Amino acid sequence: MIDISPEAITVIMFAGVLVGVLSGFPLAPVVAGVALIVGYFTWGGPQVTALFYSRMYDLVRSYVILAAPLFIFMGLMLERSGIAERLYDALYLWLGGFRGGLAITTVIIGTILAACVGIIGASVTMLGLIALPAMIKRGYDKALASGAVCAGGTLGILIPPSIMLVLYGPMAAISVGKLFMAAFVPGLILSGLYCSYIAIYCLIRPHIAPAVPPEDRAVSFLRKTSMLLTSLVPPVILVMAVLGSIFLGIAPPTEAASVGAFATILLAIAYRRFSFRALRDTAMETLRVTSKVMFIAVCGFMFTGIFLGLGGGDVVENLVLASPGGRWGAFAVIMFIVFILGMFIDWLGIIFIMVPIITPIGPALGFDELWFAMMIIVNLQMSFMTPPFAYAIFFLRGAAPPELGVSTADIIRGVIPFVILIMVGLGLLVAFPDLILWLPHQMIKF
């Protein structure tokens, strides 16, 4: 076996992943291949095999991660229920008369969908098909309309029940229920910042987001109220039942997810959008998404097992702790690294590779582990809108009807202000940490 210093291991493994990803290979086989090669030459085949087996076994028997496919199913079934169309039709009548009202409506629907769907591809695609054409045909600036769709659609990765939170918890040894409660307020803050920006920007430049003419909103108050209640109340009850059972200590996330998944079937039946074909397609898509997540998780587990076992974690921790500027300087370095990685690597890879490495650094710097975790999660919100690896941009570019003439440049110009708003949100969470910590501390434990 070859004796290699932990410093050299750190450079070799991260450089190997970087070269592999930039060469165009998928992340999962790259990290697994790097781990296998380094582990074989340093530990030998038998020890590496035993390590891989034990870590894969620990992953597949994780009871908390079982919530992931259940929440995925819940989101996909809600997508088929027609909830987005109903919400948009109702809010269109209420807010369309304001300048920028349709863009604000888009963000609000994205916020509601975030608490129901939690799958970025589904949320951005739905908004791209429903809200984007309505805005552009009403004379909205393409960049503003595209930015509102991407920003609203990506809130699902933060606002619970988010798949990212379900996966982050086991990686950082933090309660998923507490992460759910901690993410709620930051998610609403970002949504509020988005809506405020749109309102102010459209007030300054009214021609980029004209109001919908009154004749297009000529519906009675009673009719508008009925549409809003029938489209909004059922999903809100569903979300509050799922999150409320976790908050009150009635059920852990896995059981709450199963109840939510069953309730979405009932909701689809109530909206007359349920069929056995829809159930089959939803189950197959759930299987596909879950398989991708678990494959990346297994490969990430292999990488972190070898990396931490060979002392790479200590090297990273010592390097960060030695950063100038004290603990805030070290914190800034971590946030910058996560931001840069988000531009090039799938968020799943960052969670399964980086989170086990950087999680011990937070308490070592004197930060609350829950607050530190949530700052990383909010930071990762930007990864969906920062090229070149920006899921939201690609999803919207693919979903936008060609006749609208929306280009990739339009989408990129549109998301830049919202990325800056996420940075503003991070600043607020640094200045007022109780925005994250207050709600989890109110959770009832039995």
- pLDDT tens digits, 209-221: 888 888 777 788 8
- pLDDT tens digits, 342-366: 888 888 888 988 899 999 999 999 9
What is each CA distance from 208 to 24, 51, 109, 245, in whole angstroms? Answer: 39, 58, 21, 43
Among the residue ranges 174-188, 247-261, 301-315, 403-417, the one predicted with the least confidence is 247-261
What is each CA distance from 445 to 162, 249, 251, in whole angstroms? Answer: 22, 5, 10
Q: Average of pLDDT values for 27-45?
A: 88
Q: How many percent of the chain have pLDDT more than 90?
A: 30
Given a cut of 80, whether residue 275 has pLDDT beyond it is: yes
Q: Average of pLDDT values for 73-96?
A: 81
How far is 353 from 10, CA to CA, in rounded Å? 13
Assess contact for 237 and 266: CB atoms under 8 A: no
| Of 379, 368, 366, 364, nearest in space to 434 by CA | 368
The residue among 104 and 45 whose pLDDT is bigger is: 104
Question: What integer pLDDT is reported at residue 446 of this predicted model?
Answer: 40
Contacts of the segment 435-441: beta carbons below 8 A, 24+ positions apart: 435/185, 435/186, 435/189, 436/182, 436/185, 436/186, 436/370, 436/371, 436/374, 436/375, 437/182, 437/368, 437/370, 437/371, 438/185, 439/181, 439/182, 439/184, 439/185, 440/178, 440/181, 440/182, 440/370
The listed range with the strongest mean pLDDT (26-40, 255-269, 271-285, 414-428) is 414-428
Angle between helices 176-204 and 101-114 in degrees, nearest 10: 180
| Predicted model pTM | 0.88
Q: Residue 277: which H helix or E strand, with range? A: helix 276-309
- pLDDT tens digits, 248-270: 777 888 888 888 888 888 888 88
Structure tokens, 78 = 């809600």
- pLDDT tens digits, 102-140: 999 999 988 888 877 667 777 888 888 888 998 998 899
Helix, strand, or coil here: 340?
Answer: helix
Mark residue 205 as left, alpha or beta (left: phi above 0; alpha: psi -120 to 50; beta: remaining).
beta
What is each CA distance from 423 to 101, 233, 295, 400, in whole angstroms? Answer: 24, 32, 31, 27
